[in-house]
Amino acid sequence: MSEIKVIYEDDDILILDKPSGVIVNKADTTKGELTVQDWLESRWKTEGDKQPMDDQTDFYKRAGIVHRIDKETSGILIVAKNEISFLSLQAQFKDRKVEKAYIALAHGRVEEKEGEIAVPVGRLPWNRKRFGVLAGGKEALTNYRVIETLKYEVLNKQAEELTLLELKPKTGRTHQIRVHLKYINHPIFADELYAGRKTARDDRKILPRFFLHAQKISFFHPRKGERVDFESPLPKELQSVLDFLRR
């Protein structure tokens, strides 16, 4: 867990840079795996039990973690260091005052340089591990901007175009960006759930995780009231793929 980096810390908030492959919250299914929550609880105890983890409020149950990102997604996580900050940040997420930006590499050429994807997302009744666009799903809205179009050339395979995107989800549904990009026929590179098994298997020959990174976040500081911004650089494994494609 030493790979988890602290981007910023004060008396109220802790901004983490989560590496890909680390689960955020503990659950029955995470036994045997160290999570961000385990890392935080160990940290609080080392610092003198600032947060008694046997309390029953959501703040203590989650070790201050305000939101989640997928196991393979890297990037920024906000952690509250006290209950007042936790409730303030939760309210900001609910009121859509938190602004997030992700970087993703998607299959195909996205023709529109900017756009909006607004379709409801819900858990698939026939596959509880996956989400999709469902008429009875929850409202989901993602804005996107094309950064760059790249060409993917592999031996014995027809060259394919890929699009590097900046995505700004206005809602926070599980797998929202992944589902929305699949919906417009531009699934994320190496996404085993949504890009198709064969495509993802080929993609993972050069990248062992899907290409999605939580790059930026902006919100109002729970104590000071001013808007604060934080950024996480693209991890080496993702930057290496871009360098390879640009060559």
pLDDT tens-digit series, residues 73-106: 999 999 999 999 999 999 999 999 999 999 999 9
Question: Closest Cα to residue 175, out of 193, 150, 201, 189?
Answer: 193
70 a catalytic residue:
yes
Based on the domain organization, do 104 and 139 belong to the same domain? yes
Query: What CA–CA distances, in Å, run from 134 to 79, 118, 124, 196?
Result: 31, 12, 8, 19
Based on the domain organization, do 183 and 106 belong to the same domain? yes
Helix (H, G, I), strand (E, B) or coil at 176: helix
Domain count within the chain: 2
- Among 95, 130, 150, the domain boundary falls at 95
Q: Specify burial of residue 165 (Cβ count, 10 A radius: 0-12, 13-18, 19+).
A: buried
Based on the domain organization, do 114 and 145 belong to the same domain? yes
Based on the domain organization, do 127 and 214 belong to the same domain? yes
- Among 47, 79, 95, the domain boundary falls at 95
Based on the domain organization, do 111 and 224 belong to the same domain? yes
Question: Closest Cα to residue 123, out of 109, 137, 105?
Answer: 137
Looking up tokens 């190496």, which residue turns up?
190
Based on the domain organization, do 177 and 203 belong to the same domain? yes
CATH of the domain at 17: 3.30.2350.10
Based on the domain organization, do 126 and 82 belong to the same domain? no
Residue span of the structural domain in which 233 resides? 97-247
Q: Specify burial of residue 193 (Cβ count, 10 A radius: 0-12, 13-18, 19+).
A: buried
Active-site residue (options: 17, 70, 191, 203): 70
Helix (H, G, I), strand (E, B) or coil at 85: helix
Based on the domain organization, do 31 and 110 belong to the same domain? no
Based on the domain organization, do 148 and 90 belong to the same domain? no
pLDDT digits over 11-61, tens only? 999 999 999 999 999 877 777 788 999 999 988 876 655 554 556 788 999
Give me the pLDDT at residue 3, please: 87
Based on the domain organization, do 76 and 197 belong to the same domain? no
Beta carbons of 168 and 137 less than 8 angstroms apart: no
- Please state, as a whole number, how many other Cβ atoms lie within 10 Å of the Cβ of residue 135: 7
Query: pTM higher than 0.85 for the full model?
Result: yes
Based on the domain organization, do 3 and 40 belong to the same domain? yes
- Among 95, 112, 130, the domain boundary falls at 95
- Residues 98-124 have a mean pLDDT of 97
Based on the domain organization, do 88 and 158 belong to the same domain? no
Question: Closest Cα to residue 118, out of 203, 39, 180, 202?
Answer: 180
